[in-house]
A = this chain, B = another copy of it.
């Protein structure tokens, strides 16, 4: 029995894991099980594996289950022979983890925007909340555009995967935001990143 990854292709956190599986040639070792769920309708298999109901969750061969995406990525990073996705020590380790965390924070905000606009009944939507999630993402994208972009060259690691999956999610779920015009250098970086086989193989389809 191989490992099983519970995920949904449209989830940016699940996509990070699948992109990493492709980048590290581990993809054949993991069975991808797609689960359909929302925060309002968690899936029974997922709850059995992770009582919080969140995905992605990775069931190991011994039956134990790991979550969330960061824990899964930390584990998978010990299974391959390529350059580590997160440096093992030194200042570089925490810098890359911080950049990956910044990408995750943007992704959480983007997911909040999606919940607010798509799931929550229209009469209960709160513009101030939406604006603030949007600002949080904008400030962070600006930080990558103005400051951190040179750090994204070289190895396509956890920080790069997180950022690429966030930008893909914006295109998918916050599609009315034409972020490329505001962050042209980031847009150029993403155009190239998005061509990677790992990104192409995991492109989510809107529905």
Contact = CB atoms under 8 A, between A and B. Distances in A.
A53 B135 CA distance: 10
A71 interface: yes
A50 interface: yes
Interface in A126-148: 126, 128-129, 132, 136, 139-140, 142-143
Contacts of A54: 105
A94 interface: yes
A128 B132 CA distance: 23
Given A74-B94, A102-B52, A139-B53, A132 B64 contact: no
A98 interface: yes
Chain A interface, DSSP helix/strand/loop, else mixed: helix
A67 B98 contact: yes
A94 B71 contact: yes
Nearest to A142: B51
Copy count, this protein chain: 2
Contacts of A74: 93-94, 97
A68 interface: yes
Contacts of A80: none
Interface in A116-164: 120-121, 123-126, 128-129, 132, 136, 139-140, 142-143
The 10 closest A-B pairs by CB, nearest first: A52-B105, A51-B143, A51-B139, A71-B97, A51-B140, A68-B101, A124-B124, A75-B94, A124-B126, A66-B94
